[in-house]
Amino acid sequence: MTDMKRRSGGRAARVALRRAPLAENVRPVRAGLEGGQYRPLTDAQVQRIHAAALDALEQIGLSQAPASGVKILTEAGAILGDDGRIRFPRALVEDMLAKAARNITLYGRDPKHDLHLSGNRVHFGTAGAAVHVVDLATNTYRDSTAQDLHDAAKITHALDNVHFFQRAMVCRDIPDNLDMDLNTIYACCAGTTKHVGTSFSEPAHVKPGIELLHRIAGGEDAWRARPFVSNSNCFVVPPMKFAEESCIAMEECIRAGMPVLLLSAGQAGATAPAPIALAIVQAVAECLAGVVYVNAMAPGHPAVFGTWPFVSDLRTGAMSGGSAEQALLTAGCAQMHKFYDLPGGAAAGISDSKLPDMQAGWEQGITNVLAGLSGLNMVYESVGMHASLLGFCLESLVLGDDILGQVLRCVRGIDVTEDNTSIEAMMAVCVGGPGHYLGSDQTLELMQTEYIYPSLGNRMSPKEWNEANRPILLDSAIKRKNAILEQARIQIDPAIDAAIRKDYNIYFN
């Protein structure tokens, strides 16, 4: 056997070996990689934003708190003015920040999907309330349904780089709001054992929603030990107003042991100030009010600091979720989360494009990579979202998994170790060696742990691409989506699933 044949045989053996599943700790990308390499704000600028947010809380305050919220906040030390606005003394905000939960875990039903929110650990997932689904068969938009939501959950369950599933679509085929809220919970939980986020359209729906979650969990004690669903709560209506019904729902969720996402979603130039820095100030002020609210009621309750300011195209006033300004807003918010040492979340990956095309690719890639590099703990809406949150595309969800793989590789950065900078490998190749690194031990050892490869992205040469009948990316995405759905199963014990379907009006298969 020649040297070349021996090298080829060895290479084949090593490649085969590395096609086996890798241990989680040596995978090239995974949930919870440490970001934080990108910081658009200086330390002085962070301090200025913090001081301005405290000024806003102390001098402007928030209006329209529900009676229960007024009681909770004023008993903690907030001041109710004659104008009906609640103002927050600095000392109160600082006291509640000291009590706020840090280093929290958002649980999956399967512990391998637990999300540990600390430091600059990054996790990507879905979110939003799209009212349409993008139908690539006709390139049109149609109303989203409970089945669409369930299908999105099943697809997310199969994607390595999408770490959690927050409700991404509204079930528009369900006329009754309670049925819609319950179906939303069950469609998500039946599709994936990853952490789930949901909302309630009315405070009265929290109790039956929690009862359903107790059944899924196996009882109230099991639920409270590992609450696997969090409440995405728009507790404020920017600028600087509480959302009364959402606040009451939030109170109910806290009593039930459900983690909450304190979500402030102003739109710069419309419901938030146009300057990027001042939009961050308002979002921070509103979320700090939420921190006071939550910790005055239940000190240390798990809450995500959800500064989600969006961007307007100032020519029209329309939302521009895929813009460079949106990427900067999100990254700046991530820095503020780190300043407070609070688990934080914000939005990235939204496309203004109506279809999964080149525009969608650059918008999703740029905004997600800045969010990841900034060390944002929870990157919401990172996949699948089109038309500035109006449309969700299942094929784009699949394509987004490839984008997030590349983003996570950027987040991981460059490993500079003694082994990785030793010139021994160079010596072996350059002095008396083959003159290239193909097939070298070092190359083969690193090909799966140092490098990531797209599932759908095409790296063929033009000749190979032509010989493979010129595959089109969207066709490949449709094929993978269909394969995932064909293989997916309900992620609920069959007996529990049958009992729930008997007792509830479930709209999906």
Query: What CA–CA distance (Å, rounded) separates 255 from 328?
Result: 36
Asked if pLDDT for residue 11 goes beyond 70, the answer is: no
For residue 439, name the pLDDT band (cuts at 50, 70, 90). Answer: confident
What pLDDT sits at residue 21? Answer: 62
**The total number of residues written for the chain in this structure:** 509
For residue 24, name the pLDDT band (cuts at 50, 70, 90). Answer: confident
Query: What CA–CA distance (Å, rounded) separates 495 from 416?
Result: 52
- Per cent of the chain over pLDDT 70 is 96
What pLDDT sits at residue 25? Answer: 74
Query: What CA–CA distance (Å, rounded) separates 309 from 266?
Result: 5
Burial 130-166 (b: 16+ CB within 10 A, else e): bbbbbebeeeebeebbbbbbbbbbbbbbbbebbbbbb
What pLDDT sits at residue 17? Answer: 42
- The 10s digit of each residue's pLDDT in 326-339 is 999 999 999 999 99
For the packed helices 43-59 and 90-99, what is the interaxial angle rounded to 10 degrees? 120
Asked if pLDDT for residue 7 goes beyond 60, the answer is: no
pLDDT, mean of residues 291-315? 97
pLDDT, mean of residues 437-458? 90
Contact 122, 412 (CB under 8 A): no
Torsion angle of C-alpha atoms 209, 212, 213, 215, degrees rounded to 10 = 160
Query: What CA–CA distance (Å, rounded) separates 360 from 354?
Result: 8
Asked if pLDDT for residue 16 goes beyond 80, the answer is: no
Contact 294, 343 (CB under 8 A): no
